[in-house]
């Protein structure tokens, strides 16, 4: 939808499923103009419940991590700015692209933005 993405969500330990909406602002910590930049039909995602309105039968969901869920980026502190790391492009925007960057040693990953001013010809 122009508002975000509908997902089918089940309560933990329950067979009951309900449809909820992840608004565009809750799909990613960055700006999202179109939900298809972040998710696709049939994709499994992790969400958390923001609110439930039983009267209107609506569930508001989020895919954005809270500060307490934030990825520990300390492994990146010692990486030189001249070191290239393996990354997978997640989505492209007018101002650059978002990528999943592998942590040094391959012990996990984190998402980041490569701004258009940092993209070199030939890459």
- What is residue 1's predicted lDDT score, i.e. its pLDDT? 73
Average pLDDT of the chain, as a whole number: 82
Report CA-CA distances (Å) from 91 to 11, 49, 50, 82: 29, 25, 25, 24
In tens, the pLDDT along 17-70 reads: 889 999 988 888 777 888 888 888 988 888 989 999 988 889 999 988 765 556
Structure tokens at 77: 């502190």
CB atoms within 10 A of CB 27: 23
In tens, the pLDDT along 56-73 reads: 889 999 988 765 556 677
- What is residue 59's predicted lDDT score, i.e. its pLDDT? 92
pTM (2 d.p.): 0.55
Q: Is the pLDDT of residue 121 over 80?
A: no
CB 92 within 8 A of CB 74: no
């Amino acid at each position: 939808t122009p508002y975000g993405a509908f997902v089918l969500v089940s309560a933990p330990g329950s067979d009951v499923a309900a449809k909820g909406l992840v608004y565009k602002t809750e799909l990613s910590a960055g700006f999202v103009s179109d939900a298809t930049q972040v998710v696709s039909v049939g994709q499994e995602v992790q969400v958390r419940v923001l609110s439930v309105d039983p009267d209107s039968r609506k569930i508001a969901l989020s895919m954005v991590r809270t500060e307490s869920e934030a990825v520990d980026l300390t492994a990146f502190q010692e990486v030189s700015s001249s070191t290239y790391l393996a990354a997978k492009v997640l989505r492209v925007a007018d101002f650059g692209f978002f990528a999943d960057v592998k942590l040094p040693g391959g012990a996990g990953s984190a998402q980041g933005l490569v701004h258009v001013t940092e993209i070199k010809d030939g890459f």
